[in-house]
């Protein structure tokens, strides 16, 4: 479990690089203290109150690629369910405090992910 990265995963770095090339500036892995809980999105646009999460298919139970492990399922099933529950609580806390939340799966293409983020930011594409 020590080898599992929490920040700077490959899908996250690819998305950040693409957003930066499009001219967007953001904070990464910033703690947001909402009225209900502390939340740490992967990418944060503070001025526009947009929080972006890049979720791994296994760890966050992707409907397309997520699977239940066959070995040691008594350990993994509750652990993965807690991740999903924590994601829902984080979304609710951010939305309650006026934030927009964008959740991107690791299997999504970078261009689709960038389009989702740009739409949440108001739809304007910046010049490179």
User: Can you give the pLDDT of all 128 residues of the chain as single tens digits?
Assistant: 655 667 889 999 999 999 999 999 999 999 999 999 999 999 999 999 999 999 999 999 998 887 788 898 899 999 999 999 999 999 999 999 999 999 999 999 999 999 999 999 987 665 54
Long-range CB contact pairs, 31-40, < 8 A, 24+ = 32/94, 32/99, 34/93, 34/94, 34/96, 34/97, 34/99, 35/93, 35/96, 35/97, 36/89, 36/92, 36/93, 36/96, 37/89, 37/90, 37/93, 39/90, 39/93, 39/94
pLDDT score at 1: 61
Q: Are strands 100-105 and 50-55 parallel, antiparallel or unpaired?
A: parallel
128 domain residue, yes or no? no
Q: Could you give the angle at which helices 10-21 and 110-120 cross, rounded to 10 degrees?
A: 60
96 domain residue, yes or no? yes
What CATH number corresponds to the domain at position 96? 3.40.960.10
- Is residue 15 within 8 Å of residue 114, measured between CB atoms? yes
5 domain residue, yes or no? no
Written in H, E and C, the secondary structure of 19-69 is HHHCCCCCEECCCEECCCCEECCCEEECCCCEEEEEECCCCCCCCCCCCCC
Single pTM value for the model: 0.90
Count of domains forming the chain: 1
pLDDT score at 3: 59
pLDDT score at 78: 93
Q: Which residue range is the domain that position 30 belongs to?
A: 10-120
């Amino acid at each position: 479990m020590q080898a599992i990265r929490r920040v700077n995963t490959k899908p996250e770095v690819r998305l950040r690089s693409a957003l930066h090339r499009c001219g967007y500036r953001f904070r990464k892995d910033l703690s947001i203290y909402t009225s209900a809980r502390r939340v740490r999105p992967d990418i944060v646009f503070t001025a526009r109150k947009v929080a972006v999460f890049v979720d791994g298919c296994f760890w966050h139970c992707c409907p397309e690629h997520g699977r239940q492990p066959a070995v040691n399922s008594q350990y993994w099933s509750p652990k993965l369910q807690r991740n999903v529950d924590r994601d829902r609580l984080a979304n609710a806390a951010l939305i309650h405090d006026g934030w927009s939340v964008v959740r991107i799966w690791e299997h999504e293409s970078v261009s689709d992910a960038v389009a989702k983020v740009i739409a949440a930011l108001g739809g304007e594409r910046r010049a490179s």
